[in-house]
Amino acid sequence: MSRLLINGRWVDGESTEQLTDKYEGRAYGTMAVASAAQVNEAVGAAQRAVETVRMEPYARYQALTGAARIIESRMRQFIDLLRDEAGFTRADSENEVRRCAQTLELSGEEAKRLVGDLIPMEAGRGVKDRLGFTVRVPRGVICAITPFNSPLNTLAHKVGPALAGGNAVVIKPSTFTPLSAVELCKALIDAGVPPELLTLLHGPGGSLGRQLLADPRIAYYAFTGSTQVGREIQQAVGLRGTQLELGSIASTIVCHDADIGRAVPKIINAGFRKAGQVCTSVQRLFVDRRIAPDFVPRLVAAARATPAGDPADPRTVIGPMISEHHARRAASWVDEAVSQGARLLTGGTRRGRVFEPTILRDVRRDMRVVCEEIFAPVLSIIEFDDIAEAVAGANASDFGLAAGLFTADLRTALRTALALRFGGVHINEASSARVDAMPFGGVKDSGHGREGPAYAVREMTEERLITIAY
C-alpha cells in the first residue's frame, strides 16, 4: 500500500484507490489519497524542516550515494513493481533502476562541490580594498511533480539535486505510479536522509496539484509533463522558480551517408522502448530519399521482429501502454492518418493496452501523428531531398526537446546541429539518447530549465553575493 509521508511519518490518507497492473488489470495495491488539510499540514511541516533540520554537504553526499546502493540492492523488488505500475519489461525496469541509482550518485557528488564565484570587485574604476564572492544557498521547499513514464529516475532527477542543495522536497507523483515514489523515499530514509525533509502526497492533479501551486510556502517547482499543464504551473506560480520539462515531438534525421546498420537498431529502440511513452521517442523520422529503398525495408523488418505483449515474458521488448484509453487514442490517430492517405507499413493493431510497433509512410505534416505528440510506439517516415529541407521540417514544430542525426560527414553534423532548434542534438544517435550527467531540457513549448544533477542543483539553489570592505 502507498501511504503519505508527512512531517517525517507514514500516515493514511482520507481515502484509498485501488491500483491495477497495466497488462492484465489485476489489483496489486492501493494508493492513499491526501485531503486538503493534509496537504496544508505537509507543506507547513516541510517549511519547518528547512528551518530546523540541517544536513551538511558531506552528509548529503553520504545519504544520496547510500540510497543509490540500497536501490541497486532492491533490484528484484523494483522490477516487479515497475512491471505492475508502469507496464515495463524487465529490460526497461532494470534500466530505470540503474539510472535512478546513478542519478542519486551524481547528485551526491554535487552536494560536495556546490560552490560560488570570486567576484573581481577591484576591476571597477576607483574600487579598492573590496572583496566579493558568491555562495549557493537552499531555496527552501521544492515541489517535484512527476509523470508515469519514468516513475523512478525522473523523480530522482528532481529529489536528488533538491536534497543535494540543502532543500526539503514535497513530492507529487503520477497517480498511475505512486508506489515507485514510496520505495524511493524509503531508500533515501534508510540511507540517512532525515524523513522530515521528504514529503510524499498522492492524489489527483486537478485538486491536490492546484493546491500545491497556490501555496506560497513552496519556493520552486520541478515538473515533467504536458505543455498544457506546464503553462498552468507557470501562470500560477508567478515569480517563483520553475524547471519545466514539457511536451515534445522528437525528430531524427538519417542522411544519405549514414551507417544504416548502426542507425536502424538505435531508432527502433528510441521509437518503441517503454511503448513509445518517452518524451524523446522518435516520432518523426526524416530519411534521405536516396537511401529510403534500402533503409525503410530494414527498419520495417526490425520493427516486425520486436515483440510486444506481456511485460513479464522475458522475450517481450514492448510492454503495454499506461492505460487502454491511451492505447485507443493512439490507434485512432493511426486509423485517421491511414484514412487521410498515409501508408501503414507495419503495426497499427491493438490488443487491450498493447499497441504493436507501428511505422507509417506518405504522411502529411498536418496529420496528428506528425504534428501532435502521440506518446505511443508510432513512427512516421518523412522523405527529403536536401538536408536543409529536413532541418526546416524538424524545426517546424512548437516543440524543441531533442533531435537525432545520423551522418558520416563532420561538416553536415556540426552545421545541422547548430541549425536544429532543440535543447539537445545527438549526432549518430537517435533523439532519445541520454546520459544522466548531461544537461537535459527543451526550448520553445518543450519548457525551460535543465535536468542533470550538476545543472539542476544550481537551479534549486539561490546565488547570494557577499562583499567585504577592509
Sign of CA dihedral 374, 101, 33, 8: negative
Catalytic-role residue among 96, 183, 245, 451: 245
Q: Which stretches of 37-174 are assigned E, i.e. beta strand?
A: 118-119, 130-138, 141-145, 168-172
Strand partners for 405: 253, 429
- DSSP code of 354? E
Q: Is 185 a catalytic residue?
A: no
β 27-33/15-20 pair status: antiparallel
Whole-angstrom Cα distance, residue 119 to residue 180? 43
Tell me 337's DSSP state: H
Q: Give the distance between the most distant pair of CA atoms in the chain.
A: 78
Helix (H, G, I), strand (E, B) or coil at 351: strand
SS3 labels along 360-402:
EECCCCCCHHHHCCCCCCEEEEEEECCHHHHHHHHHCCCEECE
For residues 184 and 187, give the distance between their C-alpha atoms in angstroms, rounded to a whole number: 5
Q: How many CB atoms lie within 10 A of CB 44?
A: 15
Residues with Cβ within 8 Å of 78's Cβ and at least 6 positions away in sequence, in order, are: 71, 93, 96, 97, 152, 180, 183
Report DSSP letters for 259-313, one per residue: -HHHHHHHHHHHHHGGGG-STTSEEEEEEETTTHHHHHHHHHHHHHTS-BS-TTS
Is the CB of residue 320 less than 8 Å from the CB of residue 352?
yes
Q: One of 100, 255, 279, 373 is an active-site residue; which one? A: 279
* Closest to 171 measured CA to CA, from 30, 59, 3, 318: 3
Rg of the Cα trace of the chain? Answer: 23
* Catalytic residue list: 245, 279
